[in-house]
């Protein structure tokens, strides 16, 4: 049952990404970075959920590593704000 729940809950963010693309959201760099951020937070939440349910340590480690790796990728891919398009710059003030 734990295996089924982990696989089912792990697919939810991917389905949300597919749904947003199907709804007409532009699949640009900002959209993908936001997806990775949401996926990272979701994976860390799943790691905590597995820990509270006393699931096998493999699931806890898997989700924790996936979440931390996604967070690292998200923050490392932000890049130099000066190279971002004007509408994506944090100093624009909007």
Q: Which residues contact 10 (CB under 8 A, 6 or more apart)?
A: 43, 46, 63
Assigned domain for 45 exists: yes
Does residue 18 lie in a domain region?
Answer: no
Q: Give me the sign of the Cα torsion angle 23, 28, 34, 39.
A: positive
Lowest mean pLDDT, pick from 15-19, 20-24, 53-57, 87-91: 87-91
pLDDT of residue 18: 81
Tell me what the mean pLDDT of segment 1-27 comes to: 83
> Quick check: is 54 in a domain?
yes
Task: Return the pLDDT at 30.
Answer: 79
Distance in angstroms (rounded) separating the CA atoms of residues 77 and 68? 14
The domain in which residue 46 lies consists of 37-77
32 vs 48, which has greater pLDDT? 48
- The tens digit of pLDDT for each residue in 37-92 reads 888 999 999 999 999 999 899 999 999 999 999 999 888 877 665 566 666 555 55
Does residue 91 belong to any structural domain of this protein? no
Residue 70 lies in a domain: yes
How many domains are there within the chain? Answer: 1
């Amino acid at each position: 049952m734990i295996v089924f729940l982990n696989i089912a809950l792990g697919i939810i963010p991917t389905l949300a990404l597919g749904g947003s693309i199907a709804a007409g959201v532009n699949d640009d760099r900002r959209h993908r970075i936001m997806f990775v951020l949401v996926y990272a937070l979701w994976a860390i939440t799943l790691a905590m959920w597995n820990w509270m349910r006393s699931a096998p340590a493999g699931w806890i480690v898997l989700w924790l590593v996936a979440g931390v790796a996604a967070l690292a990728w998200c923050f490392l891919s932000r890049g130099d704000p000066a190279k971002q398009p004007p509408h994506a710059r944090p100093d624009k003030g909007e």
